Amino acid sequence: MDLMFNPSSSGNGEDLSSRRSVWVNGPVVVGAGPSGLAVGACLKEQGVPFVVLERADCIASLWQNRTYDRVKLHLPKQFCQLPKMPFPDSFPEYPTKRQFIEYLESYAMHFEINPHFNECVQSAKYDNTFDLWRVKTVDQGPAGREIEYLCRWLVVATGENAECVVPDIDGLAHFGGKVIHSSEYKSGDSFRGQKVLVVGCGNSGMEVSLDLSNHDAQPFMVCRNSVHILPRDIMGKSTFELAMLLMKWIPLWLVDKILLFFAWVILGDMQKYGLKRPNPGPLELKNEQGKSPVLDIGALAKIRSGDINVVPGIKTFYASSVELVDGVTMEVDSVILATGKVSSLTRMDIRKPHF
């Protein structure tokens, strides 16, 4: 039987060398992003042994490898800090990418969380016979070694942004220019002087378009549908904080009306620029469809000034141009797909216990 309990590892899953099955005397946590680290810190404080499995070669790989250089948290730091260790006082209200990563690294070090890197979870199945989880991983290295972790508890902390959404748009394969997903975008520096089609108008599409414009590129941002744009701050307070505060006292629909009133006063009517608002309010939309409102950090001013152009949905790509649903065809040099990300839960085969 390949089930090998390993008392010498004292439940921390070390000393695996050639073994294929490892007993973890506590939970297995999948993912070493902010949530996985937070779970690890809380378990550590309680003296519960655990193992964190991470497919990348570092903690917080989304932040380290799949965000652009100038990104900042767009919610104030008090809403983004992890349990038991606040952000340093010296950090600004909206920490930069570098600061956030620095904080997460010192957090992992402080709580002595040492994830098993380069181990990608393929499946997690609950074995009703033995009353334990069987978590299968594949090493991301060339050997592709497989390990099965056996544990009684499983924490999946793989986040909502694990996999890039790359839509199948007509003709895109024939487009001759550069095509990247927004998660590969680092800076507008390499797009100077180019006409760049940014597909999608969520927070990524808006922020990438702003960054492109700040680097003397000419962004065209596709808004095929509608989007809620809110100011990041309202009268010196973050919109998020204001929304959370109001929600304690008044119903969600009324908070939505208040947010939209402030958005209208501060940002004006954006419809004339091709940015229609969805019918449900911003909080209702987030609650019911998980769609985040855009928090404006400067893109709207660029849209108003004509430095960023909003265009409708895409019909077809050609070798060096794109045809839009309104019949207009325009030459573009590059395409950035700011079309979102999804959780990796559907890729992982997770079977819960049946009682």
Ligand X SMILES: O=C(O)C(=O)Cc1c[nH]c2ccccc12
Report the interface residues with ligand X, using CB under 6 A: 75, 230, 239-240, 243, 282-283, 286, 292-293, 295
| Alpha helices (H) along the chain | 34-45, 61-65, 97-110, 203-214, 239-247, 252-267, 282-289, 299-304
Residue 146 contacts residue 136 (beta carbons within 8 Å): yes
Q: Which is nearer to ligand NDP, 119 or 296 (CB)?
A: 296
Shortest distance, position 290 Cβ to ligand X, whole Å: 8
The SS3 call for residue 352 is coil
The SS3 call for residue 254 is helix
The SS3 call for residue 94 is coil
The answer to the question of residue 137 lying near ligand NDP (CB under 6 A) is: no
The answer to the question of residue 201 lying near ligand NDP (CB under 6 A) is: yes
**Which of 26, 177, 231, 340 is in the footprint of ligand NDP by CB under 6 A?**
340
The answer to the question of residue 225 lying near ligand NDP (CB under 6 A) is: yes
The answer to the question of residue 239 lying near ligand NDP (CB under 6 A) is: no
Residue 81 half-sphere exposure, CB side, CA atoms within 13 Å? 17
- Residue 99 touches which of ligand NDP, ligand X, none (CB < 5 to 8 A by kind)? none
The answer to the question of residue 104 lying near ligand NDP (CB under 6 A) is: no
The answer to the question of residue 339 lying near ligand NDP (CB under 6 A) is: yes
Four-CA torsion 44, 46, 47, 53, nearest 10 degrees: -40
- Residue 230 touches which of ligand X, ligand NDP, none (CB < 5 to 8 A by kind)? ligand X
Q: Which is nearer to ligand NDP, 172 or 350 (CB)?
A: 172
Binding flags for ligand NDP, 5-24, as an x/- string (CB under 6 A): --------------------
Shortest distance, position 297 Cβ to ligand NDP, whole Å: 7
Residues 6+ apart with CB under 8 A from 37: 52, 59, 60, 82, 104, 107, 108, 111, 113
